Amino acid sequence: MALKKEKDKQQIPIVKKTLTSWVFEGNLKLQLALVAVILLTVAIRVVPLEMQRKIVNEAINLRKVDLLISYCGIYLAAVVLASVLKLLINIIQTRISQRATAEMRKQLYHHILNMPLNFFRNTQPGTVVNSLINELTIPGNFVGMAVAAPLTNIVTLLAFFGYLLILNPALAIISFSIYPVMLYVIPLLQKRVNRDNKRRVNASRNLSSNIVESVSGIHEVQANGAFDIENNKFDTQVDKLMRIRIKWSIFKFAIKVVSNFFINLGPFLIFILGGFLAIKGQLELGALVAFLSAQEKLYDPWKELIEFYQVYQDGSINYRKTMKYFDVDIPNELIPRDRDIYELDVAISVENMSLETEEGIKLLDGVSLEVEPGEHIALVGFSGSGKSTLALCLAQLYSYTSGNATIGDKEISDLTKADITKNIGLVSQAPFIFDGTIRENLMYSYTALHGETCVLDGECEPELDDLVHVLQQSGLFVDVLRFGLNAMVESSSEEFVPVIIKMRETFQKEYGDTVEDWVEFFDENKFLNYATIADNIIFGAPVADEFRNQNLVKSDFFLKFLDDADLTRPMLSLGREIAEQTVDILKNIAHDKHFFEQSPIELEEFEMYEDLVREIKDKNLHQINKQQTMHLLELALRFSPGRHRIAVIPNLLSKMVIEGRYMFRERILQDDPNAIAFFRNDQYIHSQTISNNILFGIVKESNPAAMEKINQFMVALLIGEDFLEKMIEIGMDYQVGTKGNNLSGGQRQKLAIARTFLKSPPVMILDEATSALDNNSQKRIQNVLSRHWKGRSTLIAVVHRLDIVKEYDKVAFLKAGKIVEMGTYEELMAKKGYFYELAYEHK
């Protein structure tokens, strides 16, 4: 079980821990080692003082060179050793501090992930990020210093005091008399620092929330031209923070100034009193030197103590405020303490369940419901009727405020997260898809259930057949197949090549004539509208790096060829048109990858091309510099007239490109015959997708019916060659992008359904899980639910399409948080009540 790891850590929740509890937690050995090194260091630090006294009193006074050399040698050895030990202390201290910070971050993050959903509704992501990244740094530093700083410096001070006390008690007491004064004054100043630091933390938190809010709502700000409102809001907060930080810093500096002042008073006292005693012959000159030297050496430990004191104060405030912010009761424990995770009998019983908000609004009002194991029930009603809330309460994502709800006779609110995870699978209306591959997302719930280690080690990894099965059930199979067909085969996967070449032959033989209108075949005498200009010129897959797409404009050979073929100038002109047009359309809007599918410019290049367009605005092509020329040529080379509809390739230029194709081939065959693998019907083209390789051409995307037919032909072919599963495997490696942005809304829903099917939970809760799917896909999934899952998994589905409700054993109609009608589809239709009215309206 994945949650097993958490079991050991299930002691005190992090938000209840004190800052000082971190000092030894997990660091006991390191802290003990530190104490040993510190004591040794302090002992060694006293040696130079004694040596100074001996050098003056014995070596210099008695004029003994040998004594001078040995004392200086000991002095030097002590200084070197003290420095090495100091470095060792710093290393151990840094380790402790970083381990503590990392552990605090991990535990707080684990805590945050378990917090109730309503906490996140009122919390800006910026606050969470700031707390995890910034606010825990100083508390972590404190943990690193907690033993080392006070111990080193207090023991050093005591050691020096003791040594000086032996030399001259009166002078020692007087020179140390300044410290009690400081111990009184500094905490007074620190109180002010603390007060301002608390205000600083609050102000920083408000400021980061404000930044997140205005960035998230940038569309609203720009659409309303609300720049002044937002600027004023931000400026006011920044000014407030500035004022707080100035005060905070002034008081921090004041502590340093006061501290320095008192420390500088030390030598004054020693000179006046020690000098008087020396003149009177009551103090040796060597002892006076030792006193002065000790005073100087006291400065560092004292400074470090003050710094530690400040880190402790700042760290405590940051830590307390952070933990207090997240100190929200987690309603359900992660895993059971003294029992195994339940494997529940999956009958669901809800009795008089209500959910009332703090404002007194009843989202659910006395709901009662009985669901037998394996039974399928549909929740229907108008939006806001409470159907999703009911479903989410059963999934423990919302906590009901009164009444009872049980799964297998166990009260849902008493179950741990692990019990819920084991027994329930939830698909929400807008499922979250994580950055990664289709396969990783498909296995997300399965892996969470069985544990990452178990799955990664292969002990409980699902079979490929299982994955394919759920892809088929959810209807994602065809999409994954398309991803596979649109993938490139790595040159390392050569085993595919003969199969694909064979499929090409079969395809041409069986479907060649049928698809003629829909596919642009690789014909060396034709310009390919759906290929880039670079592909049109090279008409092959580059083998030499020089001719790979991104390197073409850097190749002298290629640039000379463009000049000789008279292609440079018209292509520059085309590049300029593409750049100007794209910048004109997409300037002043927040950028999204979706906007760049129709242009050869990529999202991350947009700013550069925006600058370029501005720079060349009033220039003719012969006036632009080399860099600009290269960028424009690059755009033209990436331009594909069939895909990028923002510019037109003139007929003359397409003819010149075909001419150029022959010329390029002639030259490259003379210069480096192996640099390009030219498109040949009997060879695999690594620069093209699998689909293009099978077709030996490119599908024209403009006819949806044609695409559908070609897909059908491909599937037939893949089955014939026993290559379908392999293609699905390749398709499952498709990168879905951040938040699944590379998938459509429907694909995201299908993926979420597939991952729940793969988990195969005893209870499934679908919250409008098929709302973004087309009619056929919804029907297919409903069929799968009715035929395959009925009797196997209990299903609670929030349904918005009433035509599929017939398939459910029971229908509950909700209105204003209450179940106002319940029965079979036929019963409710016969009753001619709310459901009948809604169904009639739908019709």
Partner 1 sequence: MNSHMNTNDADMPSEFTANLNAFRQIEFFSGMPIEVIKLFAYLCKRQTYKTGDLIFQQGDDDGCSYYILSGNTKLVFKNEEKEHFIREYGAEHFLSIMSLMSPMLKQFSLVAQEDTVCLVMTRESFSKVVDQFPDIPLRMTQAIGNRVLVSEKKAIAEFEAKEKANLKNLLGISLL
Residue 612 CA neighbour count, 13 Å, CB half = 27
Distance CA 518, CA 512 (A): 10
**Structure tokens of 49?**
């003082």
| Largest interatomic CA distance in the chain | 121
Q: What is the DSSP string of 134-146?
A: IITHHHHHHHHHH
Q: Is 592 in the site for partner 1 (CB under 8 A)?
A: yes
Using CB under 8 A, which of the segments 23-31, 247-255, 313-321, 593-601 binds partner 1? 593-601
Q: Is 384 in the site for partner 1 (CB under 8 A)?
A: no
Q: Is 783 in the site for partner 1 (CB under 8 A)?
A: no
Using CB under 8 A, which of the segments 172-180, 530-538, 588-596, 831-839 binds partner 1? 588-596
Q: Is 219 in the site for partner 1 (CB under 8 A)?
A: yes
Q: Is 596 in the site for partner 1 (CB under 8 A)?
A: no
**Structure tokens of 790?**
């009925």
Q: Is 651 in the site for partner 1 (CB under 8 A)?
A: yes
Among 166, 589, 669, 719, binds partner 1 (CB under 8 A): 589
**Structure tokens of 36?**
């040993």
Q: Is 772 in the site for partner 1 (CB under 8 A)?
A: yes
Using CB under 8 A, which of the segments 163-171, 338-346, 575-583, 807-815 binds partner 1? 575-583
Report the DSSP pairing between strands 376-381 and 362-371: unpaired
Q: Is 191 in the site for partner 1 (CB under 8 A)?
A: no
Q: Is 581 in the site for partner 1 (CB under 8 A)?
A: yes
The residue among 220 and 459 lying less far from partner 1, judged by its C-beta, is 220
The residue among 267 and 642 lying less far from partner 1, judged by its C-beta, is 642
Q: Tell me how many helices (H) and strands (E) the chain has.
A: 33, 14
SS3 category, 702: coil
Residue 178 — φ and ψ, nearest 5°?
Answer: -70, -25
The residue among 341 and 612 lying less far from partner 1, judged by its C-beta, is 612
CB of 187 to partner 1, least distance (A): 54
> Residue 327 carries which DSSP code?
-
The residue among 650 and 737 lying less far from partner 1, judged by its C-beta, is 650
- 649 burial type by CB count under 10 A (0-12 exposed, 13-18 middle, 19+ buried): buried
The residue among 554 and 842 lying less far from partner 1, judged by its C-beta, is 842
Buried b vs exposed e over 699-713: b needs ≥16 C-beta within 10 Å? bbeeeeebeeebbeb
Using CB under 8 A, which of the segments 16-24, 229-237, 553-561, 768-776 binds partner 1? 768-776
Q: Is 179 in the site for partner 1 (CB under 8 A)?
A: no
Q: Is 652 in the site for partner 1 (CB under 8 A)?
A: yes
Q: Is 621 in the site for partner 1 (CB under 8 A)?
A: yes
Q: Is 216 in the site for partner 1 (CB under 8 A)?
A: no
Q: Is 702 in the site for partner 1 (CB under 8 A)?
A: yes
The residue among 560 and 587 lying less far from partner 1, judged by its C-beta, is 587
CB of 626 to partner 1, least distance (A): 19
Q: Is 570 in the site for partner 1 (CB under 8 A)?
A: yes
Q: Is 169 in the site for partner 1 (CB under 8 A)?
A: no
CB of 641 to partner 1, least distance (A): 9
The residue among 506 and 573 lying less far from partner 1, judged by its C-beta, is 573
In the block, tokens 């892996």 appear at: 447
CB of 611 to partner 1, least distance (A): 19
The residue among 448 and 706 lying less far from partner 1, judged by its C-beta, is 706
Query: Which residue in 522, 503, 491, 488 sits closest to 696, CA to CA?
Result: 522
Among 647, 690, 753, 785, binds partner 1 (CB under 8 A): 647
Distance CA 268, CA 254 (A): 21
Query: Which residue in 54, 52, 50, 49 sits closest to 67, CA to CA?
Result: 54
The residue among 16 and 594 lying less far from partner 1, judged by its C-beta, is 594
**Structure tokens of 6?**
């958490």
CB of 586 to partner 1, least distance (A): 8
Task: Report CA-CA distances (Å) from 732 to 55, 372, 433, 458, 728.
Answer: 79, 36, 14, 18, 6
Task: Provide the CA 836 distance to its chain's centre, in angstroms.
Answer: 47
Distance CA 520, CA 463 (A): 38
Distance CA 425, CA 449 (A): 10
Q: Is 771 in the site for partner 1 (CB under 8 A)?
A: yes
- Inter-residue contact 659 to 539 (CB < 8 Å): no
Q: Is 573 in the site for partner 1 (CB under 8 A)?
A: yes
Residue type, 786: S
SS3 category, 410: strand
Using CB under 8 A, which of the segments 80-88, 143-151, 458-466, 639-647 binds partner 1? 639-647
**Structure tokens of 590?**
């927040």
Which residues of this protein are in contact with partner 1, per CB under 8 A?
A: 219-220, 223, 570, 573-574, 576-577, 580-581, 584-585, 588-590, 592, 594-595, 598, 621, 645-648, 650-653, 701-705, 744-745, 771-776, 801
